[in-house]
Copies of this chain bind each other. A is one copy, B any other.
Amino acid sequence: MLETSAPMTASRLQDRSSETAASRDASEKRGRKQSKEVRRLQLIEATIDSLARRGYSETTMADVADGAGLSRGIVNFHFESKEKLLVATLQFMADEYAAHWRSALQKAGDDPARQLAAVVAADFDRSICNKRKLAAWCAFWGEAKSRPTYQALCGARDAAYQKVIIDLCRTLKQGGGYAYEPQAMALALSAMLEGLWLRLMMGTEDVTRESALQAGYEFLVAVFPRHYAPAEPGTRPGGKPAITIA
């Protein structure tokens, strides 16, 4: 359950002398101008890999370089230092996450109930929510308290995200006559999503992406009963987990 989305991981487990998927995509053909940016991405991907496989404290420059199939000194050429490589990696993940939920929000149309459900579902999308990425996020979380730079980037669910969730909760409250404080409800919701990520990363128990999303939906159904209803439980052989927008 919860397989990784990147093809790199598998190949790197067996042999580091063979070229990585990312390097195959990148190399040859390209001009230098382009290649420079591609190299950075390649190294960032290798960093995420290493974070997921070895953890923050055992991620070394050599490991990243090997993972990318390049030489030792290369990282200090493209990124100035290890610290800057890690910041760039975190920035990359934060940008990717933000783009993802914004896109989901937009695709959901104008109905606030549908929008909120879409943002919740987006959190458990394969492209965002896989062992590799979650492990990397968690690695940064663990170092965030003692590093202001990380702290600023580390909230995937940042101030802008929080504002959107609060506004959606407020809108639903007005439209459904609920009693709750939107602020507190939004905090509870986003904290739960983050907590579910943590559980998924840990991999203990039998929590899967599906059961995590299910828990997220149950939350919505319970808190906003006039906007959501559980889909009939019998009829979902393998399709999307169940929720219905009223």
Q: Which of A40-48, A72-80, A110-118, A179-187 lies at the binding interface?
A: A179-187
Considering the complex, give the chain B residue whose CB is closest to the CB of A152: B204
Chain B residues closer than 8 Å to A226, beta-carbon distance: none
Bitwise interface map of A from 48 to 76 toward B, beta carbon under 8 Å scored 1, else 0: 00001111111000000000000000000
Interface residues on A, range: 35 or more
The DSSP consensus for interface residues of chain A is helix
Partner of A218, one of B131, B188, B202, B221: B188
In the complex, what distance in Å separates the CA atom of A216 from the CA atom of B192? 10
In the complex, what distance in Å separates the CA atom of A8 from the CA atom of B219? 41
Contact A162 B55 (CB under 8 A): no
Chain B residues closer than 8 Å to A52, beta-carbon distance: 145-146
Question: Does A154 make an interface contact (CB < 8 A)?
Answer: yes
Copies of this chain in its oligomeric complex: 2
Question: Does A139 make an interface contact (CB < 8 A)?
Answer: yes
Partner of A142, one of B141, B147, B203: B141
Given contacts A52-B145, A195-B196, 18 further A-B pairs with CB under 8 A are A55-B147, A57-B143, A135-B145, A135-B146, A141-B142, A144-B201, A144-B202, A145-B203, A159-B205, A185-B218, A187-B211, A188-B216, A191-B196, A191-B198, A191-B212, A194-B199, A222-B223, A223-B223
20 pairs of residues in contact across A and B, judged by CB atoms under 8 Å: A52-B145, A54-B146, A55-B145, A56-B57, A138-B145, A139-B145, A141-B202, A142-B142, A144-B202, A145-B202, A159-B204, A180-B222, A187-B207, A187-B212, A187-B215, A188-B215, A192-B195, A194-B194, A198-B198, A222-B223
